[in-house]
Amino acid sequence: MSALAVKIPVTPELRVQVCEQGQTALPGWRRCEVDRDLVFSPEHLESYCLSNASVVGFDLLVLAAAVEYCDKSQHRPEFTWRRQFFLQVPVHELGRWNRPEVVSALEETLDLLTGDWWSVSFVARRKALWGTGQQTLDLPKGAQAVIPYSEGLDSRAVSALLDRELGQGLIRVRMHASPGGKKKRAERFAAVPYKVAAASAESSVRSRGFKFAMIGGLAAHLLGVETVYLPESGQGALGPALITVGQTYPDYRNHPRFLHLAEKFLNALLGHKIRFELPRLWFTKGQTVARYAQEYGASASWAATRSCWRRQRQVSVAGKWRQCGVCAACQLRRLSLHAAGLSEAADIYVWRDLDAPTLAGAADPEFKGAKAGKASREYAIAGVLHLHHLAGFRTQDRYRPARNLAVAHLAEALGESEAEIRIKLYRMLETHEAEWEAYIGSLAPGSFVRKMLAGGVR
Amino acid sequence: MSDGPHKSLNMSRKWKRFAEGAANAAFSREEVAGRLCEGLGEDWTAEVPARLIAELARALEQPEGTLFGEHALPDLRGLLRDPACKGLARRTVEYAQQALREGKVGPGALEGVVDLAVKDRASSRVAQVEEHYLRYADHAGAGAIRAHAQELVGSDAVAQLAKNICDAGREGPIAAREAKRDGVDDGVLLS
């Protein structure tokens, strides 16, 4: 092979120093201030019942917020993925944070999750943020496990299924403030207690997984329990890591590989065993929803859940915020409800009629936005292709290397044999294949979704 | 559940050339596979530090049956923390770790690992071009790429690229320019 001058892209680098009030950043470092760039809500912090005895919890939240700040502040390169981050965070207990096993576990976790390179250092806080008074603790009694909880279908279904086993012992940790705006006085872990005010230079935000894992882990630590349940079903937990497109890095945000490393970091930091569990990992979302509907009958409240990530201004009809109906998350929802034999009201989605021959024709007639806007069309294409490629992952030879590697990684993370993992993974994927085929088959022959898959479905 | 479409479509000139040929009947399969390899070679050069091949060779090219493989695992883990090891390098190290765990060491082990990593990336790139056609061109183009995906990923040219990468070590990809072939008189090259 002859040498050719190929321009090697420069890896973007960002140095961020989390500063205390009035402190200036080191030369060449971007200043990030608590309460200006990382804004904590006293009300939501209060719901975490942090006390002087758990200052590590506050520092952990600052770390999670600072990681998100970095992730959102630096755009990824055009043709590659990786960025380099140097992050410095002030902490109350420097000795605890500066141990090599803590720092290396943290950096390994962030590297794997985001696909970037991280160097994290800690310095002692100049001024303790925590007051000297002892907080009155009011944590729920009898806790057995926690579950990070969103408005999503998996959250609703899996927490309800776990309630059957654990009853009051399952503590929900809200990832969004409860709808309606009224604060429930007694509610603990009522929302993510901070907001990151970074310019959104980057939209991939893979660090979201770190935020959820740290908040779930912190809640478990404060309650003195070991288990953090994550509600994601198989396609959502594994699919984004199994199917990659172009130069994108696998998405591990709900994947056992990432969770295994996050456990290692939290255990080293807190000296408390935290275990992340995905009870529906080997089931499709359709199977999860079907079981929920079966067990809860008419009281199953899946219809009010939200799967779509798109913002209100993009997908509202007559002033009402809908779900788009065509992005990967919406398509998985529709596929899963179809598989579970459930149906939804037509006005849930903006692009409601998937039998239509065009995306524009699928939109609600009252929708005033661009009916086949570029972004929506691209979301629809990416969503359909993702679920379609996932349906080919088990059988197509082109995925053989990635398939075997995925099995090895899952076996290592879950401490099971590759043979066992292969059986479970293939069973879940086989169910997805059948559900996908039935779902696509249920659409009209002229449907724009079916047209995308014309000319060689498998 | 995914990043949506925004992170997957930026393509360099080489990948656009592959996309251009991939669904064009005026190009032979060999030519398309050649363009795929040009893109893969560019990815390799951009994401993999030149010293990686030598480091992997040290770990993998041990006599079969030796216990050295297991001992090399921590070194490979260290490579994952190397700032110069970007996406494709990281994936290659992961395939090397898998080979060591399975005791796949000895002559040919390195080539096997690079072959897996390059095929893995080829599959992702073919998916990207399929998406590209749906976005910017037509359903037929996407369908044609889908139908030929396995043939492209499993082509001899891709296997040869892996071998060349191992042989060349520090060297970059071949990039012999082809003439544009989209006219009426252009057709599949006759050999």
Contacts of B143 in chain A (CB under 8 A): 453-456
For B5, the closest of A379, A400, A456 (CB atoms) is A379
Q: Give the chain A residue whose CA is nearest to the CA of B135.
A: A378
Q: CB under 8 Å to B2, separation ≥6 — which residues?
A: A239, A240, A251, A328, A329, A382, A383, A386
Pair B52, B89: CB distance under 8 Å: yes
- Per-residue pLDDT tens, chain A, 458 aa: give them: 444 455 677 889 999 999 998 899 999 999 999 989 999 887 787 777 777 668 899 999 999 999 999 999 999 988 889 999 999 999 999 999 999 999 999 999 999 999 999 999 999 999 887 554 445 557 778 899 999 998 899 999 999 999 999 999 999 998 876 555 555 556 788 888 899 997 788 888 899 999 999 999 999 999 999 999 999 999 999 999 999 999 999 999 999 999 999 999 999 999 999 999 999 999 999 999 999 999 999 888 898 899 998 887 788 888 888 999 999 999 999 999 999 999 999 889 999 999 999 999 999 999 988 777 788 899 999 999 999 999 999 999 999 999 999 999 999 999 999 999 999 999 999 999 999 999 999 999 999 999 999 754 33
Long-range contacts of A161-170 (CB under 8 A, 24+ apart): A161/A279, A161/A288, A161/A291, A161/A292, A161/A295, A162/A229, A162/A279, A164/A295, A168/A140, A168/A142, A169/A142, A169/A143, A169/A144, A169/A145, A170/A144, A170/A145, A170/A146, A170/A229
- Residues 27 to 56 of A: which have CB under 8 A from any B CB? none
Contacts of A398 in chain B (CB under 8 A): 119, 122-123, 126, 149-150, 153-154
Contacts of B164 in chain A (CB under 8 A): 1
Contacts of B4 in chain A (CB under 8 A): 203, 309, 327-328, 378-379, 382
Q: Give the chain B residue whose CA is nearest to the CA of A246.
A: B125
What ipTM was predicted for this assembly? 0.91
Whole-prediction pTM? 0.91
- A445 close contact with B: CB closer than 8 A: no
- B125 close contact with A: CB closer than 8 A: yes
Contact (CB<8Å) B172/A240:
no
- Count Cα atoms within 13 angstroms, Cβ side, for A240: 31
- B149 close contact with A: CB closer than 8 A: yes
In whole angstroms, what is the distance from residue B135 CA to residue B123 CA?
19
E strands along A2-83, which residues? 13-19, 30-33, 38-40
In whole angstroms, what is the distance from residue B2 CA to residue A329 CA?
8
- B177 close contact with A: CB closer than 8 A: no
The size of the A-B interface in CB pairs under 8 A is 182
